[in-house]
Amino acid sequence: MSEKVVVILAYVDPGSAGFIIVSVLGFLAAAGYTARAYISRLKGMVFRSGQDAGGNRGQGQVESRPGRRGRGSGEKPQR
Amino acid sequence: MVRSLSADGGSFKDPAGQVYRISGETGGARVVRGLSDAAAAEMRNLLAEPFFQQLMADGHVVKTAMLDGKDADARQVIEDGWSGAAEHEAVGFITYPYEWPFSMLKDAALLQLRLLEAAARNGWLLKDATSFNVQWMDARPVFIDVPSFVRWEDGDYWRGYRQFCATFLTPLLLTAHLDIPFQPLLRGRLEGIPPEEAAKYFYGLRRFKRGVLPHIWFPAKAEGRARKRGGGGHTRRRQSRTMLLALLDSMSRLIGKLSYRPAGSDWAEYGRTHSYDEADFLRKKDFVRRHAASRSPDLVWDLGANTGVFSRIAAERSGTVVAVDGDQSAIDMLYHETRTDCPSNIVPLVMDLANLSPSQGWAGLERPAFEERGSPDMVMCLALVHHMRVSANVPLRLFVGWLRSLNATVMLEFVGRGDEMFQKLIENKSEDYADYTAANFEAEVRSRFAVRDRLKLKGGLREMFALEPI
């Protein structure tokens, strides 16, 4: 004869699955965090290599912008 | 001088401590926590931690200091059976999460996550994560349950996750995604909304809304399975700090993106849509300013505050103004203003004025009723009486009698039957509210109050009263 196990719900801690839940969510969040970090790094590398291919314009771009920024903010470019 | 010691009714769950309010005949209540031997040692360690000192300095955690035996109030607490005592800065007016608008619960949730992150980076954890551990000081959320900080021992993990979801995240998701107000749900369930119950709101495609699958649906399934299994099966394993920090980061980003924009609100546009002409509106403001200034009250209740136009005026010369309204979006707007260009001594609360928060929890002492959390020196109810009479069906006699029972100066605006707002209220009602007349109102008032001042507005359709209890 098989024994029937009766689970009395009032005695079951509703948080008994807590460790499993935070472990799975923590793992997924950490994986997502790592993935975002790699994507961000990859974007940075592509962006930098694009700038290098255009003749290393990084510094030059900053210097060539005051005129444009001046129009946008209502400032006149220096003559 | 005799100082009375009273144990806080909501502070019984922690066997290692008990909060007391100690007040003397001249006022000046102090909040002192009695601590067991081990809890006092842990508190000293925590107070010595630089990260914790920084949290207190930044106003994120209530200011706390150990008291020595020379302090008379500490001696009283120790004589009550504790080994040590620590003092916390007193909160002006205690509020509960079921009285906060969406943005207040959201800011409190982000504070809780920020504190846990700071603790985890320094070898500590927060063992609890209930929204009742947050209060408001100067319009900022402040964490008050200092003994929640515990050392992160081997084999530990964030045990407060479930509580955090039940009392912070799930209520926010219900309001942000489904436009279901969380306040009645939290008032009915002080332990928060459990995942299996929350999952029933998010059926069908709703479960794919942001944050629902990981924080409601998955925990509901996992808990359901654990329950069928009969619980247990948990071996002590340590959650890595990296995983915890990543989880906190992901939850902070999720909550940061949640917003609540109700389609229509009765009062949120009040500042632009009230029924006065500019001159009358200025006279009403001047009346409120003059009478608030003449009293300089410590505690003001502004009942039916809507977006807080008059709360702000009263706050210029008052200690604390508790602004209450049933419209969540109006109060949410007021909360945002208290964070920017508004006096920070306003406490905005969402509450049905015909059903103020009752005493709740164990023996009715755990969460005291709204009226038991401080006696107001002044009560403002401007253009509220007609709503109480018509919408809530409260007879004038009962409402004026209740106002008298507060034993405070009252500033009241009576809206006459001829006013278009009163006519709008009764247009679909079969009852004619015959008792609602200016003469009846004045008779009820004069039997309980002395009329100190009055001012007719809108050509006599409305009248302001300044009343003193007799």
DSSP secondary structure string for all residues of B259-320: ----S--SSTTHHHH-SS-HHHHHHHHHHHHHHHHHH--SEEEEET-TT-HHHHHHHTT-SE
Q: Does A56 map to a domain? A: no
Pairwise CA distance, residues B16 & B36, whole Å:
5
Above 70 in pLDDT, residue B284?
yes
Pairwise CA distance, residues B257 & B367, whole Å:
31
Average the pLDDT over B41-52 and give the result: 96
Above 90 in pLDDT, residue B60?
yes
Q: Does A30 map to a domain? A: yes
Q: Does A69 map to a domain? A: no
Pairwise CA distance, residues B21 & B30, whole Å:
6
Above 60 in pLDDT, residue A53?
no
Chain B residues lying within 8 Å of A16, measured CB to CB:
223, 226-227, 231-234
Chain B residues lying within 8 Å of A32, measured CB to CB:
246, 250
Average the pLDDT over B317-322 and give the result: 94
Amino acid B10 reads G
DSSP B73-125: HHHHHHHTT-SEEEEEPPPSS---GGGS-HHHHHHHHHHHHHHHHHHHHTTEE
What is the domain range of residue A27? 15-50
Categorize the per-residue pLDDT at A54 as very low, low, confident or very high, splitting at 50, 70 and 90: very low
pLDDT at B41: 95
* Token representation of residue B430: 């079969």
pLDDT digits (tens, 9 = 90+) for B167-192: 999 999 999 999 999 999 999 999 99
Other beta carbons within 10 Å of B462: 25
* Token representation of residue B111: 């504070």
Residues B109 and B169 sit within 8 Å (Cβ to Cβ):
yes
Is B223's CB within 8 Å of A14's CB? yes
Above 90 in pLDDT, residue A7?
no
Name the percent of chain B lying above pLDDT 90: 75
Chain A residues lying within 8 Å of B225, measured CB to CB:
17
Categorize the per-residue pLDDT at A5 as very low, low, confident or very high, splitting at 50, 70 and 90: low
In this prediction the ipTM stands at 0.71
- Determine the residue among B164, B169, B217, B223 to mutate to test chain A binding: the one whose Cβ has the most chain A Cβ atoms within 10 Å: B223
pLDDT at B276: 75
Chain B residues lying within 8 Å of A26, measured CB to CB:
239-240, 243-244, 246-247
pLDDT at B149: 96
Q: Cβ of A10 under 8 Å from any chain B Cβ?
A: no
Residue in B194, B239, B244 closest to A14 by CB:
B194
Q: Cβ of A37 under 8 Å from any chain B Cβ?
A: no
Burial A2-25 (b: 16+ CB within 10 A, else e): eeeeeeeeeebebbbbbbbbbbbb
* Token representation of residue B368: 């005291």
Average the pLDDT over B87-91 and give the result: 95
Categorize the per-residue pLDDT at A75 as very low, low, confident or very high, splitting at 50, 70 and 90: very low
Residue in A5, A17, A26 closest to B247 by CB:
A26
Q: Does A34 map to a domain? A: yes
pLDDT digits (tens, 9 = 90+) for A13-45: 666 778 888 888 888 988 888 888 888 888 888
Q: Does A5 map to a domain? A: no
Q: Cβ of A35 under 8 Å from any chain B Cβ?
A: no
Chain A residues lying within 8 Å of B250, measured CB to CB:
25, 29, 32-33
Residues B198 and A54 sit within 8 Å (Cβ to Cβ):
no
Amino acid B273 reads T
Amino acid B444 reads E
Show Cβ contacts of residue B227 under 8 Å, excluding neighbours closer than 6 positions.
A7, A9, A12, A14, A16
Residue in B159, B232, B250 closest to A18 by CB:
B159
Show Cβ contacts of residue B268 under 8 Å, excluding neighbours closer than 6 positions.
B262, B307, B327, B329, B330, B333
Residue in A5, A14, A33 closest to B249 by CB:
A33
Residue in B230, B234, B243 closest to A26 by CB:
B243
Q: Does A35 map to a domain? A: yes
How close A72 comes to chain B (CA, Å)? 28
> Which DSSP state fits B169?
I
pLDDT at B191: 94
What is the total count of domains within chain A? 1
Show Cβ contacts of residue B317 under 8 Å, excluding neighbours closer than 6 positions.
B289, B292, B293, B295, B296
Residues B174 and B166 sit within 8 Å (Cβ to Cβ):
no
Above 60 in pLDDT, residue B245?
yes
Residue given tokens 């992160």 in the structure block: B152
Q: Does A79 map to a domain? A: no
Size of interface A-B (CB pairs under 8 A): 85
pLDDT at B308: 92
Name the percent of chain B lying above pLDDT 70: 94
